[in-house]
A and B are shown apart, each in its own frame.
Chain A
């Protein structure tokens, strides 16, 4: 499978990474090299095989649904690029 330039632009948009027009061709070549490499997986018959999603050989552990952390707004906001009081601040979203 080979990506065209429109698809490269679409992926960049989905990934929220601004890509300059000059970078598209290089990215297209590199991404196609990777996808070309992984294409060999089509050789493998996976009929009836359950997908393995994790590295842990165990069931997910549950814990009581109670709040056990928090009340530390200053710590949480300490690394924020912008804040307003006890909130993260972002550019205006709604006019």
Chain B
């Protein structure tokens, strides 16, 4: 098997057994990046020399008997994580140029575990989008194609570069961030597993902020077990993040081997939205059958406020974004466009540096927080957010996990769904509720559409119960036996 087609678990075993070296493994991935990235645009910045240096250090760790499961594993890092000495863009021209003088906690932990950084993965600008089309560094092409078509499809977003890099075998895994579905929807669009852990599980320190009460880091990889391995290294308490949870990190990998026998799986009636495609509905039914066959008990549940998730999100997230993005003022970092005075300099800098979607969200956020509208919009949205959390709390009295589709469709074409902002927002209809409630949720590949594109199912769990989410996701993965591969990938002709 080609080195780029291994899972993290397989590569780790080969490294530990000294059948391959970290330098060989990294060189194979550097070559894949060099061959495929000019077309797919999955990386904004590639770091092949740094990767080889880190691989040499990993080989030394392995030789010294100090290796862990991620030592020598080549990863893509979403370009929202600050990486010391390596350009970080958030896919925005307003941060051009920005070289962080410090490292995010999550990437520091991955480094300490011996992981190798292949480069910084493309994303929607400031993680605002569901298609990777809003990137200031150009769109990412999904390595998957519809049967008999070469049309360029989106990889989803906002972690679209991470998704494309892992699907196309340019990296064994990637970090993502998820504010309203930015790990799960691209995972679904590219045939990957991806988990947004519980809010507070991974430190937000050093992750460029979009909506602070929603942002969470998480892994994307080709198997559930690989995600579990990465999540173990990414998680843990960090005093530098005021919302970091002081909780021990469980053995996530062990959870992927457990049985779902006796687990109660909730099927929320409200996710059967009007206009759900027959294909997505059928996939969901299959998921139910797979879990039932493995001994899970299926329970009908209700999450009554589901339909309000997206409108709540499109008040809360822009409100927080308008505050967080106030820091881009042309003074401390990034771009500056000179003006007649200080205010004019701010306004010209932000007009030139931010893209259209970011400007729209800042303006919506500014409006809903402005005098006279705060109660009607922001406070109201926060109250409905409380009702959504209560929906989940009540449901989890009856069930151990919840099964839903991840996204309402398969990957769409670059340029589609661009008619108005709301059409694009509907991509996140199934992923946003878990973000608002702060509960963990994972997308796992569940099959192919009639056109040959991957489709994912979503497993939602209780706060800090990623283990059950991983157990259920791994059970689906075993039933599906997803072996399909994208058209564009390392090693393919």
Contact = CB atoms under 8 A, between A and B. Distances in A.
B420 A55 contact: no
B151 interface: no
Give the dominant DSSP class at B's interface.
helix
B479 interface: no
Interface in A1-56: 1, 3, 7-8, 11-12, 14-19, 27, 30-31, 33-35, 37-42, 44, 46, 49-56
Given A41-B312, A52-B386, A56-B199, A79 B332 contact: yes
A44 B339 CA distance: 46
Contact of B322 (A15, A41, A79): A15
A55 B363 contact: no
Interface string B327-342: 0011111111011011
Nearest to A52: B386
Given A11-B363, A38-B315, A51-B386, A18 B348 contact: yes
The interface centre, meaning the residue of A34, A63, A80 with most chain B CB atoms within 10 A of its CB, is: A34
Contact of B380 (A30, A46, A54): A46
A50 to B, nearest CB: 6
Given A18-B348, A51-B386, A90-B331, A37 B311 contact: yes
A77 B196 CA distance: 34
Interface residues of A, number: 52
A92 B341 CA distance: 7
Contact of B420 (A33, A40, A44, A61): A33
Contacts of B213: 53-56
A19 B366 contact: no
A78 interface: yes
Contacts of B99: 78-79
Given A81-B335, A91-B341, A17 B311 contact: no
Interface magnitude class on chain B? 35 or more
Interface stretch (B15-23, B114-122, B354-362): B354-362
B387 interface: yes
A72 interface: yes
Given A41-B380, A46-B387, A58 B360 contact: no
Contacts of B332: 76, 79-80, 88
Interface in B379-407: 379-387, 389
Contacts of A91: 338-339, 341-342, 345
Contacts of A57: 200, 438, 463
B275 interface: no
Contacts of A66: none
B350 A56 contact: no
Contact of A81 (B305, B330, B421): B330
A30 B463 contact: no
Contacts of A44: 305, 308, 380, 384, 387
A27 B341 CA distance: 25
Contacts of A80: 331-333
A35 to B, nearest CB: 7
B360 A27 contact: yes
Contact of A34 (B314, B333, B336): B314
B98 A79 contact: yes
A9 B385 CA distance: 30
Contact of B370 (A14, A17, A30, A53): A14
A82 B350 contact: no
A80 B463 CA distance: 40
B77 interface: no
B367 A11 contact: yes
A76 B312 CA distance: 36
Contacts of A76: 101, 332
The interface centre, meaning the residue of A7, A27, A33, A50 with most chain B CB atoms within 10 A of its CB, is: A33
A67 interface: no
Contacts of B345: 90-91
B242 interface: yes
Given A11-B367, A16-B346, A51-B382, A60 B242 contact: yes
Contact of B308 (A30, A41, A88): A41
Interface string B277-298: 0000000000000000000000
A55 B422 contact: no
Interface of A: 1, 3, 7-8, 11-12, 14-19, 27, 30-31, 33-35, 37-42, 44, 46, 49-58, 60-61, 63, 72, 75-76, 78-82, 88, 90-93
8 contacts: A1-B376, A34-B314, A37-B311, A37-B422, A41-B308, A41-B384, A79-B101, A92-B341
Given A17-B351, A41-B380, A44-B384, 11 more contacts: A27-B359, A35-B364, A54-B199, A55-B200, A55-B214, A57-B438, A61-B242, A61-B246, A79-B101, A81-B331, A81-B334
The 6 closest A-B pairs by CB, nearest first: A55-B199, A51-B382, A55-B438, A81-B336, A79-B333, A75-B101
